[in-house]
Amino acid sequence: MKAARDSRSAALVVNAGARLGASAPDLASGILEQAGLPVAAVHRISSGAELPGILERVVDDGHDLVIVGGGDGTVSYAAGRLAGTGTVLGVLPLGTANDLARTLEIPANLGQACAALADGKVVDIDLGRANGHPFLNVASVGLSVGVTETLSPRLKRSLGPLAYGVAAVRAYARHKPFRARLEFPDGDHETLDLENMLQVAVGNGRHYGGGNAVSPTAGIDDHTLDVYAIPGAPLREHMRIARLLKDGSFVEREGVYHLTTQRVRLVTDPPLPVNLDGEIATATPADFAIDRNAVHVVVPQGSTAASLDG
Q: pLDDT of 232-251, one tens digit each?
A: 999 899 999 999 999 999 99
Are 101 and 89 in contact, with CB atoms under 8 Å apart? no
The residue among 217, 221, 180, 223 whose CA lies nearest residue 198 is 180
pLDDT class of 144 with cuts at 50, 70, 90: confident
Are 110 and 70 in contact, with CB atoms under 8 Å apart? no
Whether pTM > 0.85 for this model: the answer is: yes
State the Cα–Cα distance between residues 48 and 74, nearest whole angstrom.
7
Q: Tell me, what's the pLDDT at 183? A: 98
Where in the sequence numbering do the catalytic residues fall? 279
State the Cα–Cα distance between residues 220 and 306, nearest whole angstrom.
7
The stretch 129-137 carries a mean pLDDT of: 97
Residue partners of 132: CB distance under 8 A and separation at least 6 = none
Strands 10-15 and 286-299: unpaired
Long-range pairs, 172-180, Cβ under 8 A, ≥24: 172/143, 172/146, 172/238, 174/146, 175/142, 175/143, 175/146, 177/232, 178/141, 178/142, 178/268, 178/269, 178/270, 178/272, 179/268, 179/269, 180/141, 180/229, 180/266, 180/267, 180/268, 180/269
- Which domains does the chain possess? 4-126+294-299 (3.40.50.10330), 133-292 (2.60.200.40)
The residue among 206, 212, 77 whose CA lies nearest residue 143 is 212
The stretch 31-41 carries a mean pLDDT of: 87
pLDDT class of 150 with cuts at 50, 70, 90: confident
Are 220 and 103 in contact, with CB atoms under 8 Å apart? yes
Buried b (16+ CB within 10 A) or exposed e, 67-85: bbbbbbbbbbbbbbbbbee
State the Cα–Cα distance between residues 249 and 38, nearest whole angstrom.
43
Are 91 and 104 in contact, with CB atoms under 8 Å apart? yes
Q: State phi, psi for 299 to the nearest 5 degrees.
A: -130, 160
What SS3 class is residue 173?
helix
Q: Which helix (H) or strand (E) holds 305?
A: none
pLDDT 10s digits, 173-212: 889 999 999 999 999 999 999 999 999 999 999 999 888 9
Question: Phi-psi bin for 208: left (phi > 0), alpha (psi -120 to 50), beta?
Answer: beta
State the Cα–Cα distance between residues 28 and 87, nearest whole angstrom.
20
pLDDT class of 287 with cuts at 50, 70, 90: very high
Strands 192-203 and 212-213: unpaired
Are 286 and 131 in contact, with CB atoms under 8 Å apart? yes
pLDDT class of 152 with cuts at 50, 70, 90: low
State the Cα–Cα distance between residues 108 and 101, nearest whole angstrom.
7
